[in-house]
Protein backbone atom coordinates (compact mmCIF):
# COMPACT_ATOMS: atom_id res chain seq x y z
CA UNK A 1 0.00 0.00 0.00
CA UNK A 2 2.77 2.32 0.88
CA UNK A 3 4.52 1.85 -2.53
CA UNK A 4 1.58 3.01 -4.60
CA UNK A 5 1.84 6.69 -3.65
CA UNK A 6 5.60 6.58 -4.26
CA UNK A 7 5.15 5.04 -7.70
CA UNK A 8 2.49 7.53 -8.52
CA UNK A 9 4.69 10.31 -7.24
CA UNK A 10 7.61 9.05 -9.34
CA UNK A 11 5.41 8.88 -12.41
CA UNK A 12 4.19 12.39 -11.76
CA UNK A 13 7.76 13.49 -11.24
CA UNK A 14 8.84 11.80 -14.49
CA UNK A 15 6.06 13.46 -16.38
CA UNK A 16 6.93 16.83 -14.87
CA UNK A 17 10.53 16.37 -15.95
CA UNK A 18 9.43 15.36 -19.43
CA UNK A 19 7.19 18.39 -19.73
CA UNK A 20 9.94 20.71 -18.52
CA UNK A 21 12.39 19.06 -20.94
CA UNK A 22 9.91 19.43 -23.79
CA UNK A 23 9.41 23.11 -23.02
CA UNK A 24 13.17 23.69 -22.83
CA UNK A 25 13.65 21.86 -26.13
CA UNK A 26 10.96 23.94 -27.77
CA UNK A 27 12.50 27.15 -26.47
CA UNK A 28 15.93 26.04 -27.63
CA UNK A 29 14.53 25.25 -31.08
CA UNK A 30 12.80 28.62 -31.35
CA UNK A 31 16.01 30.34 -30.27
CA UNK A 32 17.98 28.38 -32.83
CA UNK A 33 15.44 29.16 -35.54
CA UNK A 34 15.48 32.85 -34.70
CA UNK A 35 19.25 32.93 -34.69
CA UNK A 36 19.39 31.02 -37.97
CA UNK A 37 16.79 33.12 -39.72
CA UNK A 38 17.84 36.39 -38.18
CA UNK A 39 14.18 37.32 -37.84
CA UNK A 40 12.65 36.90 -34.41
CA UNK A 41 9.02 36.13 -34.98
CA UNK A 42 7.60 37.61 -31.85
CA UNK A 43 9.69 40.72 -31.76
CA UNK A 44 7.73 43.96 -31.90
CA UNK A 45 7.49 45.64 -35.27
CA UNK A 46 10.74 47.54 -35.65
CA UNK A 47 10.55 51.27 -36.02
CA UNK A 48 13.27 52.20 -38.48
CA UNK A 49 15.03 55.49 -38.49
CA UNK A 50 15.23 57.51 -41.68
CA UNK A 51 18.24 56.71 -43.76
CA UNK A 52 18.32 53.12 -42.60
CA UNK A 53 19.05 50.91 -45.57
CA UNK A 54 21.94 48.56 -45.10
CA UNK A 55 24.17 47.07 -46.26
CA UNK A 56 25.23 49.79 -48.73
CA UNK A 57 27.46 47.53 -50.77
CA UNK A 58 26.89 47.06 -54.49
CA UNK A 59 26.19 43.47 -55.32
CA UNK A 60 25.36 42.51 -51.75
CA UNK A 61 21.71 42.06 -52.63
CA UNK A 62 20.67 45.06 -50.60
CA UNK A 63 19.53 48.55 -51.48
CA UNK A 64 22.14 50.30 -53.59
CA UNK A 65 23.15 53.76 -52.49
CA UNK A 66 23.13 56.59 -55.05
CA UNK A 67 26.26 56.79 -57.12
CA UNK A 68 27.05 53.10 -56.78
CA UNK A 69 25.15 51.74 -59.75
CA UNK A 70 25.76 54.02 -62.72
CA UNK A 71 22.94 54.42 -65.21
CA UNK A 72 20.05 52.17 -64.18
CA UNK A 73 18.10 50.09 -66.67
CA UNK A 74 14.91 51.80 -65.54
CA UNK A 75 13.56 54.13 -62.92
CA UNK A 76 10.54 54.08 -60.69
CA UNK A 77 8.88 57.38 -59.91
CA UNK A 78 5.56 58.72 -58.76
CA UNK A 79 3.14 57.70 -61.47
CA UNK B 1 25.53 36.02 -77.94
CA UNK B 2 22.58 38.02 -76.65
CA UNK B 3 21.55 41.63 -77.00
CA UNK B 4 18.98 43.99 -75.56
CA UNK B 5 16.24 45.25 -77.84
CA UNK B 6 14.13 48.21 -76.74
CA UNK B 7 10.94 49.95 -77.74
CA UNK B 8 9.87 53.37 -76.50
CA UNK B 9 6.37 54.67 -76.89
CA UNK B 10 3.93 57.02 -75.26
CA UNK B 11 0.65 55.89 -73.79
CA UNK B 12 -1.73 56.55 -70.90
CA UNK B 13 -0.24 60.08 -70.70
CA UNK B 14 3.20 58.78 -69.82
CA UNK B 15 6.25 57.09 -71.29
CA UNK B 16 6.55 53.37 -71.92
CA UNK B 17 9.88 51.57 -72.26
CA UNK B 18 10.04 47.89 -73.15
CA UNK B 19 13.36 46.03 -73.17
CA UNK B 20 13.96 42.41 -74.09
CA UNK B 21 17.09 40.32 -73.95
CA UNK B 22 17.16 38.11 -77.01
CA UNK B 23 19.56 35.63 -78.51
CA UNK B 24 21.25 36.61 -81.75
CA UNK B 25 18.98 34.19 -83.58
CA UNK B 26 15.75 35.41 -82.00
CA UNK B 27 16.12 39.12 -82.68
CA UNK B 28 13.33 39.18 -85.25
CA UNK B 29 11.06 37.28 -82.90
CA UNK B 30 11.80 39.80 -80.15
CA UNK B 31 11.03 42.70 -82.48
CA UNK B 32 7.68 41.12 -83.32
CA UNK B 33 6.94 40.61 -79.63
CA UNK B 34 7.76 44.24 -78.87
CA UNK B 35 5.55 45.39 -81.73
CA UNK B 36 2.68 43.19 -80.55
CA UNK B 37 3.15 44.55 -77.01
CA UNK B 38 2.99 48.13 -78.27
CA UNK B 39 -0.17 47.45 -80.28
CA UNK B 40 -1.83 45.75 -77.33
CA UNK B 41 -0.90 48.59 -74.95
CA UNK B 42 -2.67 50.96 -77.33
CA UNK B 43 -5.73 48.76 -77.11
CA UNK B 44 -5.55 48.80 -73.32
CA UNK B 45 -5.59 52.59 -73.32
CA UNK B 46 -8.59 52.64 -75.65
CA UNK B 47 -10.31 50.20 -73.32
CA UNK B 48 -9.38 51.52 -69.87
CA UNK B 49 -8.92 55.28 -70.24
CA UNK B 50 -11.53 57.56 -68.75
CA UNK B 51 -10.17 60.43 -70.85
CA UNK B 52 -11.16 58.87 -74.17
CA UNK B 53 -14.91 59.42 -74.53
CA UNK B 54 -15.27 56.35 -76.73
CA UNK B 55 -13.37 54.04 -74.40
CA UNK B 56 -15.05 50.95 -73.08
CA UNK B 57 -14.54 52.22 -69.53
CA UNK B 58 -16.52 55.38 -70.34
CA UNK B 59 -19.29 53.20 -71.74
CA UNK B 60 -19.25 51.12 -68.57
CA UNK B 61 -19.43 54.22 -66.37
CA UNK B 62 -22.30 55.55 -68.46
CA UNK B 63 -24.16 52.29 -67.91
CA UNK B 64 -24.21 52.62 -64.10
CA UNK B 65 -27.41 51.13 -62.78
CA UNK B 66 -27.62 48.51 -65.54
CA UNK B 67 -25.63 45.36 -66.36
CA UNK B 68 -22.76 45.91 -68.82
CA UNK B 69 -21.18 43.09 -70.80
CA UNK B 70 -17.46 43.82 -70.87
CA UNK B 71 -14.60 42.70 -73.06
CA UNK B 72 -12.30 40.11 -71.55
CA UNK B 73 -9.63 42.72 -70.80
CA UNK B 74 -11.94 45.25 -69.17
CA UNK B 75 -13.61 42.56 -67.13
CA UNK B 76 -10.23 41.23 -65.99
CA UNK B 77 -8.89 44.57 -64.83
CA UNK B 78 -12.15 45.59 -63.13
CA UNK B 79 -12.41 42.25 -61.33
CA UNK B 80 -8.79 42.61 -60.23
CA UNK B 81 -9.39 46.17 -59.04
CA UNK B 82 -12.38 45.11 -56.95
CA UNK B 83 -10.42 42.18 -55.51
CA UNK B 84 -7.57 44.53 -54.56
CA UNK B 85 -10.02 46.93 -52.95
CA UNK B 86 -11.11 44.04 -50.74
CA UNK B 87 -7.51 43.00 -50.01
CA UNK B 88 -6.53 46.52 -48.97
CA UNK B 89 -9.63 47.18 -46.89
CA UNK B 90 -10.71 49.87 -49.36
CA UNK B 91 -7.47 51.90 -49.21
CA UNK B 92 -7.28 51.19 -52.90
CA UNK B 93 -10.67 52.06 -54.34
CA UNK B 94 -11.43 52.03 -58.09
CA UNK B 95 -14.76 53.78 -57.47
CA UNK B 96 -12.87 56.96 -56.60
CA UNK B 97 -13.72 58.72 -59.88
CA UNK B 98 -16.38 61.10 -58.49
CA UNK B 99 -13.88 62.33 -55.89
CA UNK B 100 -11.25 62.87 -58.59
CA UNK B 101 -13.73 64.88 -60.66
CA UNK B 102 -14.68 66.95 -57.62
CA UNK B 103 -10.97 67.73 -57.13
CA UNK B 104 -10.78 69.00 -60.70
CA UNK B 105 -9.12 66.00 -62.35
CA UNK B 106 -11.55 66.20 -65.23
CA UNK B 107 -9.05 66.10 -68.09
CA UNK B 108 -5.88 64.19 -68.76
CA UNK B 109 -2.86 65.19 -66.72
CA UNK B 110 -1.17 66.54 -69.86
CA UNK B 111 -3.79 69.30 -69.82
CA UNK B 112 -3.95 70.21 -66.14
CA UNK B 113 -0.60 69.16 -64.65
CA UNK B 114 1.25 71.75 -62.53
CA UNK B 115 -1.04 74.64 -63.46
CA UNK B 116 -4.07 76.52 -62.24
CA UNK B 117 -7.29 75.01 -63.53
CA UNK B 118 -9.81 77.34 -61.89
CA UNK B 119 -12.61 76.36 -59.59
CA UNK B 120 -15.16 76.04 -62.39
CA UNK B 121 -13.52 72.95 -63.86
CA UNK B 122 -14.41 70.70 -60.99
CA UNK B 123 -17.53 68.59 -61.14
CA UNK B 124 -19.89 68.52 -58.20
CA UNK B 125 -20.41 64.88 -57.34
CA UNK B 126 -21.50 62.82 -54.42
CA UNK B 127 -19.03 60.21 -53.33
CA UNK B 128 -19.23 57.72 -50.50
CA UNK B 129 -16.43 55.45 -49.46
CA UNK B 130 -16.79 51.71 -49.83
CA UNK B 131 -19.04 51.65 -52.91
CA UNK B 132 -16.66 49.15 -54.50
CA UNK B 133 -18.48 46.56 -52.38
CA UNK B 134 -21.63 47.22 -54.40
CA UNK B 135 -20.07 46.51 -57.81
CA UNK B 136 -21.56 43.23 -59.07
CA UNK B 137 -19.44 40.93 -61.22
CA UNK B 138 -20.50 37.85 -63.15
CA UNK B 139 -17.49 36.03 -64.56
CA UNK B 140 -19.51 33.59 -66.64
CA UNK B 141 -21.14 36.33 -68.69
CA UNK B 142 -18.41 38.95 -68.09
CA UNK B 143 -21.11 41.26 -66.79
CA UNK B 144 -20.26 44.24 -64.61
CA UNK B 145 -23.06 46.11 -62.87
CA UNK B 146 -22.15 49.44 -61.32
CA UNK B 147 -24.68 50.84 -58.88
CA UNK B 148 -26.26 54.13 -59.92
CA UNK B 149 -23.92 56.99 -59.07
CA UNK B 150 -20.81 54.82 -59.08
CA UNK B 151 -18.08 55.30 -61.69
CA UNK B 152 -14.68 53.68 -62.01
CA UNK B 153 -11.21 55.12 -62.51
CA UNK B 154 -8.65 52.46 -63.42
CA UNK B 155 -5.68 54.81 -63.38
CA UNK B 156 -4.41 53.24 -60.19
CA UNK B 157 -4.29 49.70 -61.47
CA UNK B 158 -4.30 49.59 -65.28
CA UNK B 159 -0.59 50.26 -65.86
CA UNK B 160 0.56 47.67 -63.33
CA UNK B 161 -1.90 45.13 -64.69
CA UNK B 162 -0.85 45.90 -68.27
CA UNK B 163 2.85 45.44 -67.40
CA UNK B 164 2.10 42.00 -66.00
CA UNK B 165 -0.01 41.11 -69.02
CA UNK B 166 2.67 42.20 -71.50
CA UNK B 167 5.08 39.94 -69.62
CA UNK B 168 2.69 37.01 -69.72
CA UNK B 169 1.23 37.41 -73.21
CA UNK B 170 4.17 38.59 -75.30
CA UNK B 171 7.54 38.36 -73.58
CA UNK B 172 7.58 35.24 -71.47
CA UNK B 173 9.51 33.26 -74.09
CA UNK B 174 12.53 35.51 -73.62
CA UNK B 175 15.14 34.98 -70.93
CA UNK B 176 14.95 38.53 -69.61
CA UNK B 177 12.78 41.60 -70.05
CA UNK B 178 11.97 44.89 -68.38
CA UNK B 179 8.59 46.51 -68.86
CA UNK B 180 8.41 50.11 -67.69
CA UNK B 181 4.99 51.70 -68.00
CA UNK B 182 5.44 55.20 -66.65
CA UNK B 183 7.41 54.17 -63.57
CA UNK B 184 5.43 51.00 -62.88
CA UNK B 185 7.83 48.22 -63.78
CA UNK B 186 7.95 44.48 -64.20
CA UNK B 187 11.40 42.88 -64.37
CA UNK B 188 12.35 39.33 -65.22
CA UNK B 189 15.64 37.54 -65.68
CA UNK B 190 19.08 39.04 -66.09
CA UNK B 191 20.03 41.55 -68.79
CA UNK B 192 23.52 40.07 -68.66
CA UNK B 193 24.66 36.91 -66.92
CA UNK B 194 25.03 37.35 -63.17
CA UNK B 195 23.48 40.80 -63.06
CA UNK B 196 19.86 41.74 -62.49
CA UNK B 197 17.96 44.75 -63.72
CA UNK B 198 19.08 47.86 -61.85
CA UNK B 199 16.10 50.05 -61.09
CA UNK B 200 16.70 53.55 -59.78
CA UNK B 201 14.38 55.07 -57.20
CA UNK B 202 13.93 58.59 -58.52
CA UNK B 203 14.19 61.59 -56.24
CA UNK B 204 10.63 62.92 -55.91
CA UNK B 205 12.03 66.36 -55.08
CA UNK B 206 13.14 66.60 -58.70
CA UNK B 207 9.47 66.75 -59.74
CA UNK B 208 8.92 69.63 -62.13
CA UNK B 209 7.36 72.94 -61.20
CA UNK B 210 4.35 74.71 -62.73
CA UNK B 211 4.28 74.64 -66.52
CA UNK B 212 7.19 72.20 -66.77
CA UNK B 213 6.98 68.79 -68.43
CA UNK B 214 5.66 65.92 -66.38
CA UNK B 215 9.13 64.53 -65.88
CA UNK B 216 12.59 65.99 -65.35
CA UNK B 217 14.89 65.39 -68.32
CA UNK B 218 17.62 63.78 -66.22
CA UNK B 219 16.16 61.99 -63.22
CA UNK B 220 18.13 61.91 -59.99
CA UNK B 221 18.27 58.66 -58.09
CA UNK B 222 18.25 58.29 -54.33
CA UNK B 223 18.80 54.54 -54.33
CA UNK B 224 18.81 51.52 -56.56
CA UNK B 225 17.50 47.99 -56.37
CA UNK B 226 18.60 44.96 -58.37
CA UNK B 227 15.66 42.87 -59.52
CA UNK B 228 15.31 39.60 -61.39
CA UNK B 229 11.66 38.67 -61.01
CA UNK B 230 9.63 41.45 -59.50
CA UNK B 231 7.29 44.36 -59.94
CA UNK B 232 8.12 47.79 -58.58
CA UNK B 233 6.12 51.02 -58.43
CA UNK B 234 6.14 54.33 -56.58
CA UNK B 235 3.36 56.51 -55.27
CA UNK B 236 3.25 59.97 -53.78
CA UNK B 237 1.79 63.41 -54.20
CA UNK B 238 4.92 65.25 -55.33
CA UNK B 239 4.70 64.91 -59.08
CA UNK B 240 1.10 64.80 -60.27
CA UNK B 241 -0.58 67.91 -58.97
CA UNK B 242 -2.45 70.99 -60.12
CA UNK B 243 -3.80 74.17 -58.58
CA UNK B 244 -7.50 74.76 -58.10
CA UNK B 245 -8.27 78.29 -56.99
CA UNK B 246 -4.74 78.46 -55.61
CA UNK B 247 -5.02 75.24 -53.64
CA UNK B 248 -2.63 72.51 -54.61
CA UNK B 249 -4.50 69.31 -55.47
CA UNK B 250 -3.03 65.83 -55.83
CA UNK B 251 -4.16 63.02 -58.11
CA UNK B 252 -3.94 60.79 -55.07
CA UNK B 253 -7.29 60.65 -53.31
CA UNK B 254 -7.56 59.22 -49.81
CA UNK B 255 -10.59 56.90 -50.00
CA UNK B 256 -11.23 57.40 -46.29
CA UNK B 257 -12.00 61.08 -46.79
CA UNK B 258 -12.61 61.41 -50.52
CA UNK B 259 -10.14 64.32 -50.49
CA UNK B 260 -6.82 64.72 -52.33
CA UNK B 261 -3.81 63.95 -50.18
CA UNK B 262 -2.55 67.21 -48.69
CA UNK B 263 0.78 68.60 -49.78
CA UNK B 264 3.34 67.41 -47.25
CA UNK B 265 5.16 70.07 -45.27
CA UNK B 266 8.44 70.03 -43.40
CA UNK B 267 11.75 68.30 -43.91
CA UNK B 268 10.46 65.04 -42.51
CA UNK B 269 7.37 64.96 -44.70
CA UNK B 270 6.79 61.70 -46.55
CA UNK B 271 7.10 62.36 -50.27
CA UNK B 272 6.88 58.92 -51.85
CA UNK B 273 6.63 55.22 -51.18
CA UNK B 274 8.11 52.57 -53.45
CA UNK B 275 6.74 49.02 -53.27
CA UNK B 276 8.32 45.82 -54.56
CA UNK B 277 5.99 42.90 -55.15
CA UNK B 278 5.72 39.70 -57.19
CA UNK B 279 3.64 41.56 -59.78
CA UNK B 280 3.65 45.12 -61.08
CA UNK B 281 -0.06 45.36 -60.30
CA UNK B 282 0.51 44.59 -56.63
CA UNK B 283 3.47 46.96 -56.47
CA UNK B 284 1.35 49.69 -58.06
CA UNK B 285 -1.44 49.30 -55.53
CA UNK B 286 0.62 48.70 -52.40
CA UNK B 287 2.81 51.73 -53.13
CA UNK B 288 -0.37 53.83 -52.90
CA UNK B 289 -1.60 52.01 -49.82
CA UNK B 290 1.75 52.46 -48.05
CA UNK B 291 1.79 56.15 -48.90
CA UNK B 292 -1.75 56.67 -47.65
CA UNK B 293 -0.97 54.88 -44.39
CA UNK B 294 2.09 57.05 -43.87
CA UNK B 295 5.39 56.27 -42.23
CA UNK B 296 6.18 53.91 -40.54
CA UNK B 297 2.76 52.19 -40.57
CA UNK B 298 2.73 52.04 -44.36
CA UNK B 299 5.85 49.89 -44.42
CA UNK B 300 5.09 47.88 -41.31
CA UNK B 301 1.68 46.77 -42.58
CA UNK B 302 2.71 45.61 -46.05
CA UNK B 303 1.61 41.99 -46.57
CA UNK B 304 4.10 39.13 -46.60
CA UNK B 305 6.04 38.99 -49.85
CA UNK B 306 5.81 42.73 -50.48
CA UNK B 307 8.47 45.20 -49.40
CA UNK B 308 8.72 48.95 -49.42
CA UNK B 309 10.87 52.02 -49.18
CA UNK B 310 9.90 55.53 -48.06
CA UNK B 311 11.43 58.80 -49.25
CA UNK B 312 11.27 61.96 -47.15
CA UNK B 313 11.47 65.62 -48.03
CA UNK B 314 15.04 65.89 -46.76
CA UNK B 315 16.14 63.20 -49.22
CA UNK B 316 16.56 60.45 -46.65
CA UNK B 317 15.07 57.01 -47.07
CA UNK B 318 13.70 54.41 -44.71
CA UNK B 319 12.81 50.80 -45.02
CA UNK B 320 12.35 47.70 -42.93
CA UNK B 321 14.55 44.59 -42.91
CA UNK B 322 11.96 42.91 -45.12
CA UNK B 323 13.25 44.85 -48.13
CA UNK B 324 16.75 43.45 -47.71
CA UNK B 325 15.25 39.98 -47.38
CA UNK B 326 13.21 40.56 -50.53
CA UNK B 327 16.23 41.74 -52.52
CA UNK B 328 18.43 38.89 -51.33
CA UNK B 329 15.76 36.40 -52.33
CA UNK B 330 15.79 37.94 -55.82
CA UNK B 331 19.50 37.27 -56.05
CA UNK B 332 19.48 33.83 -54.48
CA UNK B 333 16.71 32.60 -56.77
CA UNK B 334 19.08 32.94 -59.71
CA UNK B 335 22.35 31.88 -58.07
A37 chain-B contacts, CB cut-off 8 A: none
Substitution target in B159, B215, B317 with the highest count of A β-carbons within 10 Å is: B317
Closest CA to B272 of B280, B259, B282, B261: B261
B136 in a structural domain: yes
Nearest chain B Cα to A45, which residue? B300
Q: How far apart are CA B104 and CA A61, in angstroms?
A: 43
A45 chain-B contacts, CB cut-off 8 A: 300
B125 in a structural domain: yes
Interface of B with A in 303-332 (CB under 8 A): 309, 312, 314, 316-321, 323-325, 327-328, 330-332
List B198's β-bridge partners, or say none. Answer: B226
B134 in a structural domain: yes
**pLDDT reported for residue A66:** 83
B155 vs chain A: nearest CA distance in angstroms?
9
B257 in a structural domain: no
A10 vs chain B: nearest CA distance in angstroms?
48
Q: How far apart are CA B252 and CA B261, in angstroms?
A: 6
With a cut of 70, list the residues of chain B below it in pLDDT.
107-126, 207-217, 239-242, 244-245
B129 class by beta-carbon count within 10 Å (0-12 exposed, 13-18 middle, 19+ buried): middle
Contact A53 B14 (CB under 8 A): no
Substitution target in A59, A71, A74, A78 with the highest count of B β-carbons within 10 Å is: A78
CB atoms within 10 A of CB B107: 13
Domain range for B84 is 56-145
Substitution target in B4, B181, B198 with the highest count of A β-carbons within 10 Å is: B198
**pLDDT reported for residue B186:** 98
CB burial of B263-288 (b: ≥16 within 10 Å; e: otherwise) equals ebeeeeebbbbbbbbebbbbbbbbbb
A36 vs chain B: nearest CA distance in angstroms?
14
| Residue B299 contacts A, CB cutoff 8 Å | yes
**pLDDT reported for residue A47:** 41
B329 in a structural domain: no
Q: How many domains does chain B have?
A: 1
Helix (H, G, I), strand (E, B) or coil at B134: helix
**pLDDT reported for residue B314:** 87
| pTM of the predicted structure, to 2 decimals | 0.81
**Interface list for chain A against chain B, based on CB atoms closer than 8 Å:** 39, 45-55, 59, 61-66, 68-70, 72-79
Angle separating helix axes B27-48 and B158-166, nearest 10 degrees: 150
* A–B interface: beta-carbon pairs under 8 A: 141
**pLDDT reported for residue B268:** 82
- Nearest CB to A77 within list B198, B219, B224: B219
A68 chain-B contacts, CB cut-off 8 A: 224
A56 chain-B contacts, CB cut-off 8 A: none
**pLDDT reported for residue B123:** 60
Q: How far apart are CA B294 and CA B300, in angstroms?
A: 10
Task: Tell me: pLDDT of A1 over 80.
Answer: no
Q: How far apart are CA B320 and CA A4, in angstroms?
A: 60
Q: How far apart are CA B212 and CA B110, in angstroms?
A: 11
| Residue B250 contacts A, CB cutoff 8 Å | no
- What Rg, from alpha-carbon coordinates, does chain A have? 27
Contact A49 B318 (CB under 8 A): yes
Interface of B with A in 17-36 (CB under 8 A): 17, 19
CB atoms within 10 A of CB A16: 10
B224 chain-A contacts, CB cut-off 8 A: 63-66, 68-69, 72
B213 in a structural domain: no
Read off the pLDDT of residues A32-64 as tens digits, 9 standing for 90 and up. Answer: 344 433 334 333 334 444 444 444 444 455 788
Mean pLDDT of A8-27: 68
**pLDDT reported for residue B105:** 73
Here the CATH number for the domain that contains residue B102 is 1.10.3980.10
A59 vs chain B: nearest CA distance in angstroms?
8
**pLDDT reported for residue B316:** 87
Cβ atoms B297, B316 nearer than 8 A: no
B198 chain-A contacts, CB cut-off 8 A: 64, 69-70, 72-73
- Nearest CB to A52 within list B232, B319, B325: B319
- Nearest CB to B317 within list A53, A73, A77: A53
Element containing residue B4 per DSSP (H, E):
strand B2-11
Amino acid sequence: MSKRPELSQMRRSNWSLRIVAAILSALAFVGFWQAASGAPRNAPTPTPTPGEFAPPTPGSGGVLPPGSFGAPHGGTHVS
Amino acid sequence: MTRLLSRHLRGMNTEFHLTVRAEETSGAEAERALEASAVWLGEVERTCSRFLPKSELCALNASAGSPFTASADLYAVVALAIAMAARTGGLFDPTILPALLAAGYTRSFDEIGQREIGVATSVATSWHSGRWRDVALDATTRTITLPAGVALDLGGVAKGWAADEVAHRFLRAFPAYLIDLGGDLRAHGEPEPGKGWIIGVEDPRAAPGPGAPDRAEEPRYLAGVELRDSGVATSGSARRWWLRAGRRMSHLIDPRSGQPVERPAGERALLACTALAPSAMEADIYAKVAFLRGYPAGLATLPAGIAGLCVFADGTLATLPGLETYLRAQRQAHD
